[in-house]
Amino acid sequence: MRLVKYLAHSGVASRRASERLIEAGKVTIGGQVVTDPARDVGSDSWVAVEGRPVQPEAREVWMLNKPVDVVSTASEPGRRRAVVDLIDSRRRLYPVGRLDADSTGLILLANDGELANRLTHPRFEVPKIYQVTLRRAANDVQLRRLREGVVLEDGPTSPARVRRRDQQMIEITISEGRNRQIRRMVRKVGNDVASLRRVGFGSLRLGELPEGESRLLGRPELRRLWKDAGAMEAAGSEGGAR
């Protein structure tokens, strides 16, 4: 197994973040610094990150219904809680993508860096569904502009799927993941977001999971996630139900 994949499967970080650790000289094999992410390693290779031994662990993916004012990081040095604080697991979990502190709803946490990378990489176009309550009733022109895509300061967005739920609530589906993208898109077309809730990620739906609660995904859900992310099999990922 390549070193970068080994680190991702060990729950150290995503593959891209693991590559950065390797390039920075923070990874050793048998006590020797290695900077080649393609280096072959196995369970007996004595891999360490910043002096701490690492080895692949059973992979877990959790769904959390994130409350407001909880941040999408693995740790939070300030007053706010981090999403990992709401998960009942001893694994080293990391958020799969981000959900703004002032947004709520479905966020995934995993120790499977390969799956996390596929789910968040723009190339795989994994859709995410949001329920958006607007400050003012949306008109047809605003909805049409969102469907066609708008030009933001960091470039044009892809067309979005938009469905009106009522005068001030719409459902938006996008496959991008830019910083505060939905809020910026809505502002660009002349409206503002009052509240934002993610209700879908790929084939997963938030359903009736209470706010602040989480659950471990089962194997059928993991297989569907891998398929969402452009792979036919879960590559040995483990899951259960809780």
Q: 165: which residues sit within 8 A by CB, 6+ positions away?
A: 131, 171
| 3-class SS of residue 31 | coil
Give Cα separations from 238 to 82, 116, 129, 168, 222 (angstroms): 24, 14, 25, 41, 8
Which ranges of 80-218 would DSSP assign to H, the alpha helix?
113-120, 140-148, 181-188
Distance CA 51, CA 28 (A): 8
Distance CA 220, CA 48 (A): 33
Distance CA 105, CA 113 (A): 22
Locate 227 and state its tokens.
């398929």
| 3-class SS of residue 102 | coil
Point out the residues that are catalytic: 100
Q: Is the dihedral of CA 169, 174, 177, 182 positive or negative?
A: negative
Q: Is the dihedral of CA 223, 226, 227, 228 positive or negative?
A: positive
Smallest Cα–Cα separation from 115: which of 139, 142, 101, 97?
A: 97
